[in-house]
């Protein structure tokens, strides 16, 4: 049994707020865990893990609940939730910041901005740094400063035996390697993360370029410009873009991001995009924090969606670009928004070798994903089929999948997410979680996974 202290932090199916607390960002995923434990400190996490292990209960670890496929939750699972771990402390002497696993992007940006520091995390305000960092962590500063995981210097986590351990360059350095790109929920319950600080930044230029009511010619011109522009050695700008088909606006494109420089420098840098027919651009000279708030303003509190994200390493021919544009020409029944999403890589991301951390696809030019969003549960099957049918085409044009944008139908997922790092990750998994306590539909397999699955049954 749990001690009395932790009992007050457990949400059970008969609790009045159970149905609210079991929800995650992607509302198309509905799971019914047997209990949710809200950890208020590392001791709670230790106790929760020991309890689950002693009872043979299956665990899910959750912080922000933004995993696209809901790997943070499950039917009849014990969910260990770290969203209440909100501590933050900065040490300017060592140039580090330490945060609890319940700190989200917005909270981290606000905290660091008080001291004048930027931080290369993601665009959605409610995504938690702990989930994002473990998968790599893309954001509008990636080309300038690297992935979020590249700044991680230490993690504290509760291992499968229920012990709090530290992973950094000196202690459990193999695990530290795996936590930087291996994806969340595989090795234990992280309770805190420490990151390196960056040089202070005063202002950035928020670039927003839009093209509305576009035709295929504009999309083609845009894709050609995108792939050529990314090859420039311009680390100051990490744009993301979408070629979208929305219920409200029809076909359109946007390109956004922070430029680390003045509006004049930004305008010169993105000239090729401004030359595309119909471009409407704005260049706002704002503080780093204001730029993150502009990003944040586009996100709803939750939605129903599927998204599959893959890596692009080369350049496309016109014929291939036409197939990409065709992916979103028709929406599924009931879909309110479908898009091909592009996230620039390169710059500092590429400076590390693919095996320096577990994030393998460092040499990719960008991430390309497809997405559909819908509202009514009735149209969910059509939307799932829509993405499934297009995923094959996406795979034929790309090389591997981004673990932070997972898709359940990804075949041979170990290879897809981790490429040449898959074997090393499997060995580290076997060492730190030999009983495969932390497992879910696409978790890292231990080396002897097939034997374990036979004994315990598949997830
Ligand atoms: C709207 C939206 C916008 C996004 N934008 C970006 C973006 O700009 N850049 C980017 O790189 N990604 C982005 N993502 C993807 C996001 O980074 C991942 O979904 C991330 O894993 C979410 O972390 P979370 O803690 O919020 O979610 P959760 O679902 O709670 O956790 C994600 C994974 O980490 C594990 N995990 C959670 N907490 C812990 C813990 N304490 N210890 C160990 N494991 C844990 C979970 O088990 C799960 O596998 C976005 C996702 C959404 C839904």
Give the mean pLDDT of the chain. Answer: 95
The answer to whether the Cα torsion of 373, 129, 62, 452 is positive or negative is positive
Question: How far does Cα 426 stand from its chain's mean position?
Answer: 21
Spell out the alpha helix ranges (H) of 257-329: 263-269, 271-274, 288-296, 318-326
Pocket test for ligand 1, best of 48, 63, 105 (most atoms within 8 A of CB): 63
* Mutational pocket test of ligand 1: of 24, 127, 407, the residue with most ligand atoms within 8 Å of the beta carbon: 127
| pLDDT at res. 334 | 97
The protein residue whose alpha carbon is closest to atom 47 in ligand 1 is 185
- The number of angstroms, rounded, from the C-alpha of 32 to the middle of its chain's C-alpha atoms is 23
- Confidence tier at 203 by pLDDT (50, 70, 90): very high
Supply the pLDDT for residue 453: 45
Q: How far is the CA of 267 from the centre of ligand 1 (A)?
A: 33
Pairwise CA distance, residues 366 & 186, whole Å: 26
d(CA 103, CA 91): 17
What percent of the chain shows pLDDT beyond 70?
Answer: 96
DSSP for residue 351: G
Q: What pLDDT score was predicted for residue 187?
A: 98
Note the pLDDT of residue 455.
45
Confidence at residue 142, expressed as pLDDT on a 0 to 100 scale: 98
Model pLDDT, residue 447: 87
Which residues surround ligand 1 with Cβ inside 6 Å? Answer: 25, 60-68, 71-72, 82, 101, 122-124, 127-128, 130-132, 134-135, 137-139, 184-185, 189-190, 299, 404
pLDDT at 156 over 90: yes
- Cα of 127 vs centre of ligand 1, distance in Å, is 6
- Give 75-101 pLDDT, tens digit per residue: 999 999 999 999 999 999 999 999 999
Polymer length in residues for the chain: 459
Cβ pair 404, 183 in contact under 8 A: yes
Determine the Cα–Cα distance for residues 386 and 375; give it in Å rounded to an integer: 15
Give the number of other Cβ atoms within 10 Å of residue 218's Cβ.
21
Residue 214 alpha carbon to ligand 1 centre in Å? 33
Q: pLDDT tens digits, residue range 401-438?
A: 999 999 999 999 999 999 999 999 999 999 999 999 99
Calculate mean pLDDT across residues 363-379: 98
Burial of residue 75 (number of CB atoms within 10 Å: 0-12, 13-18, 19+): exposed
Give me the DSSP letters along 254-267.
EEEEEESS-HHHHH
pLDDT band at 457 (very low <50, low <70, confident <90, very high): very low
- All structural domains of the chain: 4-81 (3.30.43.10), 88-196 (3.30.465.10), 417-456 (no CATH)
How many angstroms is it from 92 CA to the middle of ligand 1?
28
Going by CA atoms, what residue is nearest to atom 52 of ligand 1?
66
pLDDT number for residue 450: 46
Q: Is 203 exposed, middle or buried (0-12, 13-18, 19+ CB in 10 A)?
A: middle
The rounded distance, in Å, linking the Cα atoms of 239 and 258 is: 7
Ligand 1 geometric centre to CA of 318 (Å): 35
């Amino acid at each position: 049994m749990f001690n009395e202290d932790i009992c007050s932090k457990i949400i059970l199916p008969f609790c009045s707020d159970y149905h609210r607390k079991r929800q995650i960002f992607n509302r198309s995923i509905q799971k019914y865990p047997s209990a949710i434990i809200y950890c208020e400190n590392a001791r709670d996490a230790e106790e929760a893990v020991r309890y689950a292990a002693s009872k043979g209960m299956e665990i899910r670890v959750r912080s922000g609940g933004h995993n696209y496929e809901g790997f943070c939750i499950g039917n009849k699972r014990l969910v260990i939730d770290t969203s209440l771990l909100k501590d933050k402390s900065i040490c300017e002497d060592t140039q580090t910041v330490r945060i609890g696993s319940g700190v989200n992007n917005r909270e981290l940006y606000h905290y660091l901005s008080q001291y004048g520091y930027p931080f290369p995390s993601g665009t959605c305000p409610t995504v938690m740094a702990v989930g994002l960092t473990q998968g790599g962590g893309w954001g509008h500063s990636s080309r300038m400063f690297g992935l979020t995981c590249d700044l991680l210097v230490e993690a504290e986590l509760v291992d499968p035996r229920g012990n709090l351990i530290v992973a950094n360059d000196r202690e459990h350095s193999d695990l530290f390697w795996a936590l930087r790109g291996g994806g969340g929920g595989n090795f234990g319950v992280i309770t805190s993360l420490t990151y390196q600080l960056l040089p202070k930044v005063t202002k950035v230029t928020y670039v927003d370029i839009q093209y509305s009511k576009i035709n295929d010619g504009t999309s083609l011109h845009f894709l050609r410009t995108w792939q050529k522009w990314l090859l420039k050695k311009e680390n100051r700008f990490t744009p993301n873009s979408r070629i979208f088909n929305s219920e409200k606006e029809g076909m359109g494109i946007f390109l956004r991001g922070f430029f680390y420089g003045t509006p004049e420098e930004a305008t010169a840098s993105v000239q090729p995009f401004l030359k595309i027919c119909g471009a409407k651009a704005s260049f706002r000279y704002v503080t780093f924090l204001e730029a993150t708030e502009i990003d944040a303003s586009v996100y709803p509190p939750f939605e129903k969606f599927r998204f599959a994200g893959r890596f692009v390493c080369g350049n496309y021919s016109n014929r291939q670009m036409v197939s990409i544009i065709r992916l979103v020409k028709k929406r599924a029944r009931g879909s309110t928004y479908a898009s091909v999403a592009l996230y620039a890589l390169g710059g500092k991301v590429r400076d590390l070798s693919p095996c320096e951390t577990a994030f393998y696809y460092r040499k990719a030019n960008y991430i390309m994903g497809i997405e559909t969003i819908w509202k009514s549960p009735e149209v969910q099957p059509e939307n799932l089929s829509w993405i499934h049918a297009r995923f094959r085409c996406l795979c034929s044009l790309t090389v591997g999948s981004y673990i932070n944008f997972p898709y359940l139908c990804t075949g041979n997922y170990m290879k897809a997410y981790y490429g040449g790092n898959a074997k090393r990750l499997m060995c580290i998994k076997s060492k730190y979680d030999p009983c495969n306590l932390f497992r879910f539909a696409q978790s890292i397999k231990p080396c002897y996974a097939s034997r374990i699955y036979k004994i315990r049954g598949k997830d």
